[in-house]
Structure 1
């Protein structure tokens, strides 16, 4: 009978020894962590002791989990797109890259239309190629309302049907009829071709629709063009839309703004201005000043702008563009809402129709329009 007792005592002693070892190990780890942090804090304090640039240590950022859907987490954690550092040297190389990316987007259009219950028709307005996107069911209050869509893509990507996903989501989730403008783009048509096309459509639509029932929206490049269209409409003494929704607008096309640095290499969509993005900016501007308000609308006068809703994410390279635009609108006395999503890189709120955040973003925009568009 004594052997089992001895075994129990031995096991108890072993458990105590293991517990002491674990406790000692944890205490050592905590001490090392504290020491490492203290060393890091001293180094960073020394590196940032003077006014001017902020110096941050090399670090990695895990996927956010709080209040972020699994679908969105998958996008946030994805690797960089293969084209992020593309450097086409000739018009032919630009066109090959543009066509290759367009084919990927166009392949998903039929399923997206079916899922959201919309139909798409091609048309021409004022000589500009456009698409009319109509939901199968339109609420009574939306039947005389119309949205004008200007697509994103850095002024180079998204020709033809490749421009349609955002317009389809707005029509499907929001229940609005949408005209999507397939504006001309580089390398064949630099600035001001895109803006000229968008404005030609705006003028044509005004002939048959009351401006108080119209809104303009678009993301990234489309967000910048939305803002620039209001500037041009005002300058040309044209009626303004009742509301606008510039999503994460490229409102400063140059590398100016805090998040161009703070979110560089963190945003897994645009990644860096110094890749294809900055090259596309120069291609589009074609020698025109990057501070021209019709190219970088942040340098325009926002006084008298219609109510505006902006959307961005905490990892968005264009977060500063969006924040600067929002603040300038508010300072001009304009009604302006700002929605910023946890963890999202550039425009990820519209990349996956099944992500809850996608429906949420477009529903918020639709409700904003419902508030300010005349029935």
Structure 2
């Protein structure tokens, strides 16, 4: 019942007029009822409430924050492998025209490639700083281990090339329902081993958002385990660092995040599909449970409404506790990974320029 009430109030927040806000419950009445409801130690009881769109962010960002839930992406639960494939293809095909338009606007070129036996794409910016000419960025796309195959998973690589001024390689790792864990990680490590033959690791970084962020962390854990060289820096954006529903923001931002919305939606189904019976707290599935000592300098990105805000904060604190240089950037009002959604939003440009500035401090020239 609580979830239904919260869903209704969040939807209402996007449609209420200023006059309607004025009719909100009297604070003194709320004060009394909330004091009574929270008079003992334990879980917090919250009133139904409307959360307005922040007014102190750019208009493009406001449009992202105010957007309705993305159906059927957030709550998909296909009944069969064929239905999963059909949904993934439908969403992927729908993304392609926008990506082509964005590449043209940003002046980024995309060429197909194969690296380590894995298909991928090479992105080259219109202009590249001299300091970046001998550097290489490896990108791990997101999508909850099920979304974003082929070209549809290339938004982050495109933006990193455009706003960071780097050559970026994005790869198309295998995904469920056809290839559950460890296929994606096996592909990621094959790519990393091939990249080590292409460029000195001191001149390379790994970037990934959401699933890509979780895989970036898992790649470092596995590279350490296998005795492989590590990149000079990494940028795991809002990483899915824990496949279990652990972390405060899984509840505090549930129904407020307009991208992921709730762990009980497709996330829970995708996690089960990907794990394929393995322990979800295995560090290769949920890297937050791994040993972060010896990790390269790391920059993390999230938003105040992100369902994975706690995933990101927990990762940041664990890195700091392990003595790793770790920066954290948080965008006002943003839900999960929304810094990837609109290439024209100032926050998008800012996010990738921050990452590039961080890399400039740690990648060899």
Matches of 1:37 and 1:363, distance apart in 2: 42
Q: Which residue is 1:76 aligned to?
A: 65
Equivalent residue runs for 1:50-61 within 5 Å: 50-61=40-51
Matches of 1:318 and 1:110, distance apart in 2: 29
Q: Which residue is 2:5 aligned to?
A: none
Q: Which residue is 2:75 aligned to?
A: 85
Q: Which residue is 2:6 aligned to?
A: none
Q: Shift of residue 138 of structure 1?
A: 1.8
Moved over 4 A (4+): none
Q: Which residue is 2:171 aligned to?
A: 181
Which of 47, 51, 54 aligns to 2:37? It is: 47
Q: Which residue is 1:323 aligned to?
A: 313
Matches of 2:26 and 2:145, distance apart in 1: 47
Count of paired positions: 343
Structure 2 gaps of 5+ residues are: 1-21
Q: Shift of residue 136 of structure 1?
A: 2.7
Matches of 1:349 and 1:209, distance apart in 2: 29
Equivalent residue runs for 1:1-375 within 5 Å: 36-66=26-56, 68-83=57-72, 84-375=74-365
Q: Which has the larger radius of gyration?
A: 1
SS of aligned partner of 1:107: helix
SS of aligned partner of 2:69: coil
**RMSD over equivalenced CA pairs, Å:** 1.3
Structure 1 gaps of 5+ residues are: 1-29
Provide, for residues 104-131 of structure 1, a one-character-per-residue CA deviation record: whole Å limited to 9, x for no partner.
2112222111111121111111211111
Provide, for residues 121-149 of structure 1, a one-character-per-residue CA deviation record: whole Å limited to 9, x for no partner.
11111211111111132221111100000
Matches of 2:340 and 2:286, distance apart in 1: 23
Provide, for residues 180-215 of structure 1, a one-character-per-residue CA deviation record: whole Å limited to 9, x for no partner.
011000000000100100100100111131110010
Provide, for residues 35-69 of structure 1, a one-character-per-residue CA deviation record: whole Å limited to 9, x for no partner.
93222212211211222211110101000011x10
Q: Which residue is 2:11 aligned to?
A: none
With normalisation by structure 1, the TM-score equals 0.90
With normalisation by structure 2, the TM-score equals 0.92
Matches of 1:49 and 1:96, distance apart in 2: 50
Matches of 1:215 and 1:174, distance apart in 2: 12
Matches of 2:329 and 2:116, distance apart in 1: 34
Matches of 1:208 and 1:128, distance apart in 2: 15
Moved more, 188-197 or 76-85: 76-85
Matches of 2:211 and 2:76, distance apart in 1: 18
Matches of 1:65 and 1:41, distance apart in 2: 26
Provide, for residues 192-243 of structure 1, a one-character-per-residue CA deviation record: whole Å limited to 9, x for no partner.
1001001001001111311100100010000000100000000100001100
